[in-house]
Chain A
Amino acid sequence: MTEDWIIQTNNLVKKYGEHVALDSVNIEVKPGATGLLGPNGAGKSTLLKTMLGLIALTSGGGKVLGHDIATEGAKIRQRIGYMPEYDCLTPDMPAIDQVRYSGELLGMNPFAATQRAHEVLEYVGLKDQRYRTISTFSTGMEQCTKLACALIHDPDLLICDEPSNGLDARSRKFMLDTLFQVVKQGGRSIIMSSHLMDDVERICERMLMIHKGQVIAQGRIEDLKAIDREIEIFVWGGASKLEQKLKDMGQSVRRTGRVMRITRIDDSTYGTIIEAAAQTEVQIRKMQDYEPSLEDLFIVIMDRLGYSVKSSSDLLEGATPAMDNAAAIQGRKVA
């Protein structure tokens, strides 16, 4: 195992009866910020619990921060800070006591935990509110308290489950900036599970996408985006004709209204587009290389797996739609 990896798994399988929650998962996570993406029920929670060394595996194995996930769960959890998605705070406790107690549960002595609790609460912007009871906190402040609980022992790896869940724009920005600083300034690693592609793209250099218990994509986001370079054109008059013509000419086209994105095969693709436009007498008002977002990457990956999705919210927030091609998932790992 290479020491550069903070997490490495080897054919990880977890079954609950007949249900396969994790199916031969092989992941390699390097230090830094990594986004964990996947639809509801994809196996994200099971994977997080596995990383925390909390569940018994059916087969396979792996290491987190150099510790075996099957036998060294306690050691792993000593070096990990976990920020749960759901409520995990005692409403009637002041924030300072809650954070201190979470440190004591890690084995910090009470004096060190108290001192550190003051530091981390200041770091997450709750310096003036640290003696207030948590029941009086806004959602943003609760999220920050959860982050403080996770950071109290200065963990090597921070696992954040939906850190910006329920936050307004301003609090969300603060939370993401804070997490970004933990990575850049603190030199710590983060695994961030989120439904919001923008959040992941803003914080993370790498991503890990799982679906139906299988890893369907992993690696640097920039590298993954480079899989399909596209040319974006804005057309006027006869967009459907042009789309059809391009498809007839063997091009791969994605279209939303009068905006089309054509997969760039090589430099000749530009000529092909212009030629198609000339033949169909359609105006091209603008042509540019398209800079794909993580959202686009997600759609492309899902499209390859046989899902017809318009946006990530189709899959991430709702029920998983039926596959167009059930067999498509087999052997179609992007990276």
Chain B
Amino acid sequence: MNEDDSFDLGDLLGQPEAAVPDTSKESEFLGESGLSVTGKARMEAAYGTDDGEGQDVAIVAQSATSDAGTIFHQVYRPWRGVLNPRWVRNWSILRHHVYGLFTKGHRPWPLTSKLIIVLILFGSLLPIFSLLLAVLTNIEFLMEFYGINRANLWGHVLGTFHNTCCWPLLTAVVVGGLISEDRQHGTSAIYFSRPVTRTDYTLMKYISAASILSLVIVISYCAYFAAGIILNNEGWAFLLDTTTYFIGGLVAAIMLVVTFTSIGLALSSLSTGRFFPAASFLGVIFGSRILAFLIQLLFDRDTMYLLSPYDNLAHTGQWMMGLNPTYDFPVAWSFVMLLVMNGVSLYVLISRVNSLEVTRE
């Protein structure tokens, strides 16, 4: 071959040019195209085996003819495996939601949600850094302010800062789309056309949300308590003194997680999309508090705080940790209201999940 000769891939492969199929119709996947795609042309283009002399035309990879072989053979392969029992299916739902926060291949959490969760986790761990600062500087005031005591442990779970800036926002981000997005995208059909019952579906969604909230709220609470012991080099006596109200705080934290998850999931089951459930959850938490606060200012009555999930939790938490209550009504009322709120939320959640369709939404 000399430099004047035209050169194309057909010469290289020794195949007629006319046999190259029409690729003008762009198709997105093998099934649409009806073409066979071989690796031979690409290999020639990448690792040409001639001497390289006289080649003044670039080799461009092309689709080769069907004579050259076909990669796409549609062959049905049976599967002889065994399907595992119910708990494995339920575990896969939990894993799908929780692992999605950390790795790819599971529920695709939006990046903003992940960032907010990380920021809130960091914020909830700030008291540990403050405690470290207090220990290192040995300043009495800082030790009182950040040390382990009833008020600080209560404050970590039910204090105003965390319940204004952290936990409601965390819940809104986590719970917002858990069920509503299944309704929006019709993915509930994927669950219910399989041997997943509505009870399993609801329960595993609930546990998934509660687990993620617990990862931040309960774990940071325990970490704070542990840090207090380790950094101050406390002994068994301290542990015995503080264990009772630590457990009280732990129960309060679990109650907070349960209540927020119930309300959040109920709102999520009412809607399609992520925004409305998140916004309405924040509205319920903050709105009820603001309303109760305004009524207290105007009429000097604090009974309306019974309508606020946060205040009911705070009141019950104060009782469990042995703190002086800041509310005038009995703690039993708050506890009953918490039960009612959880009951109503779960009723809404269950009835709405029952309305999720398999065949049509």
Contacts and interface: CB of A to CB of B under 8 A. Distances in A.
Interface of A: 45, 48-49, 52, 54, 73-75, 77-78, 80, 82, 84-94, 97, 100-102, 104-110, 112, 116, 119, 123-129, 138, 140-141, 144, 149, 152-154, 161, 170-171, 174, 177-178, 181-182, 185-186
Contact of A107 (B85, B105, B192, B193): B85
A49 B195 contact: no
B141 interface: no
Given A85-B359, A182-B76, A124 B31 contact: yes
B233 interface: no
A92 to B, nearest CB: 4
7 contacts: A78-B195, A80-B193, A106-B83, A123-B76, A154-B78, A171-B32, A182-B76
A177 B72 CA distance: 14
Given A101-B96, A174-B32, A52 B84 contact: no
A88 B79 contact: no
B97 to A, nearest CB: 11
By Cβ-Cβ distance, the 9 closest A-B pairs, closest first, are A125-B31, A107-B83, A104-B92, A154-B79, A186-B76, A82-B193, A74-B195, A92-B108, A107-B84
Contacts of B107: 90, 93
B197 interface: yes
Nearest to B196: A105
Contact of B187 (A85, A88, A153): A88
Contacts of B50: none
B89 A107 contact: yes
Contacts of B79: 112, 116, 119, 152-154
Interface string B1-44: 00000000000000000000000000111111010000000000
Contacts of A91: 185
Interface string B65-103: 000000010111111110111101100110010000000
A78 B83 contact: yes
A154 B82 CA distance: 11
A86 B186 contact: yes
A128 B29 contact: yes
Given A106-B89, A107-B88, A88 B185 contact: yes
Given A84-B358, A127-B30, 9 more contacts: A82-B358, A87-B186, A104-B96, A107-B84, A107-B195, A123-B77, A171-B31, A178-B74, A186-B76
Given A85-B359, A97-B106, A112-B81, A170 B27 contact: yes
A52 B193 contact: yes
A72 to B, nearest CB: 10
Contacts of A80: 193
A101 B108 CA distance: 12
Contact of A45 (B84, B96, B359): B359
Interface in B186-224: 186-197
A100 B92 CA distance: 11
B34 to A, nearest CB: 7
A42 B28 CA distance: 36
Nearest to A91: B185
B120 to A, nearest CB: 22
Contact of A185 (B32, B75, B86, B189): B75
Given A93-B108, A106-B194, A125-B32, A84 B186 contact: yes
B361 interface: yes
Contacts of B84: 107-109
A171 B89 CA distance: 33
Nearest to B85: A107
Contact of B360 (A45, A149, A181): A45
A265 B185 CA distance: 54
B96 A174 contact: no
How big is chain B's contact interface, by range?
Answer: 35 or more
Nearest to A125: B31
B280 to A, nearest CB: 23
B106 to A, nearest CB: 7
A134 to B, nearest CB: 9
A335 to B, nearest CB: 26
Contacts of B197: 74
A245 B205 CA distance: 71
Contact of B29 (A88, A100, A125): A125
Contacts of A45: 359-360
A170 B105 CA distance: 31
A248 to B, nearest CB: 49
B74 A89 contact: no
Contacts of B106: 97, 101
A101 B76 contact: no
A185 B76 CA distance: 7
Nearest to B84: A107
Contacts of A49: 358-359
A149 B190 CA distance: 8
A98 B270 CA distance: 25
B58 to A, nearest CB: 25
A182 B81 CA distance: 18
B194 to A, nearest CB: 5
Contacts of A177: 74
A141 B196 CA distance: 26
Interface in B209-254: none
Pick from B79, B105, B193, B359 the residue with the most CB of A within 10 Å: B193
A77 B196 CA distance: 9
A84 B359 contact: yes
A110 B95 CA distance: 11
A84 B189 contact: yes
B186 A106 contact: no
A14 B47 CA distance: 67
Contacts of A149: 190
B79 to A, nearest CB: 4
A105 B28 contact: no
The listed residue with most A CB atoms (<10 A of its CB), out of B27, B84, B107, B185, is B185
B186 A102 contact: no
Contact of B195 (A77, A125, A126, A181): A77
Contacts of A84: 186, 189, 193, 358-359
Contacts of B78: 154, 186
A129 to B, nearest CB: 5
B195 A75 contact: yes
Contacts of A161: 359
